[in-house]
């Protein structure tokens, strides 16, 4: 029930109300995956799509994720004056879609403005997200991409402390895990992944590393018979 409430809140909360790191995490993971499927974006277009995502934050800042998705669905269905193009996405297109969505969005006689969430409501969203991440790991032993922001938040709270040996082991394992997962991709997609993880900075490998650190920390809590609620 808590996870359902959290999902509804995340989908309707205006983009401008999110903590910046969490908003970037959502746009660059779950939203990017959804958009790629909707517009048939291929792996070689990923960098251009990522560079256009800030325009989504700029234009759609007062709308929730569900409304942003609705706008792009209308574009993909051909419900706008813009002709939809497969495997294409850039900054100009984002602005055009937003302008069309504003014109086509139904206007109600009495506009109900969604109140700006208070600091307490934002803190509650973060708190419930931390609990959901931990409980989901307990049940599935998985940390999904959309939950990697939890790592950064726990770092800000100075809760993640590892030895140099632990860090080195998890960093090495992160590369092994990414390569193993790439076997499920197409040949071209796998080549892109391999090229990226060989760079000095790799978002894919960094995210996997953060997941491993979270799992390690959660494991320590579980072994001590503690819940994440006991330390935050």
Which pLDDT belongs to residue 16? Answer: 87
Which pLDDT belongs to residue 200? Answer: 59
Domain limits of the chain?
2-104, 119-230
Reported pTM: 0.50
pLDDT tens across 48-85, in order? 888 889 999 999 998 988 999 999 999 999 999 999 99
Four-residue CA torsion sign, 127, 132, 137, 139: positive
Residues of the chain under the 50 pLDDT cut: 1-9
pLDDT tens across 17-31, in order? 888 888 888 888 889
Which pLDDT belongs to residue 111? Answer: 60
Question: How far is it, in rounded angstroms, from Cα 131 to Cα 126?
Answer: 9
């Amino acid at each position: 029930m808590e996870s359902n409430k959290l999902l509804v809140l995340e989908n309707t909360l205006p983009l401008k109300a999110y903590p910046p790191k969490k908003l970037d995490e959502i746009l660059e993971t779950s939203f990017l995956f959804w958009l790629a499927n909707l517009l048939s974006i291929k792996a070689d277009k990923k960098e251009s799509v990522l560079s256009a995502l800030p325009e989504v934050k700029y234009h759609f800042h007062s709308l929730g994720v569900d409304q942003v998705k609705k706008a792009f669905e209308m574009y993909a269905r051909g419900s706008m004056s813009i002709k939809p193009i497969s495997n294409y996405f850039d900054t100009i297109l984002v602005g055009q879609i937003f302008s069309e969505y504003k014109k086509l969005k139904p206007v109600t006689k009495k506009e109900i403005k969604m109140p700006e969430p208070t600091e307490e409501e934002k803190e509650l969203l973060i708190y419930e997200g931390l609990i959901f991440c931990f409980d989901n790991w307990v049940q599935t032993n998985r940390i999904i991409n959309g939950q990697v922001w939890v790592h950064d938040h726990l770092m800000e709270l100075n809760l993640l402390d590892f030895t140099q040996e632990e860090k080195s082991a998890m960093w090495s394992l992160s590369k092994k895990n990414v390569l193993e997962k790439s076997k499920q991709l197409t040949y071209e997609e796998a080549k892109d992944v391999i090229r990226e993880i060989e760079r000095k900075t790799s978002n894919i490998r960094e995210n996997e590393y953060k997941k491993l650190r979270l799992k390690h920390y959660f494991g320590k809590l579980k072994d001590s018979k503690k819940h994440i609620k006991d330390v935050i």
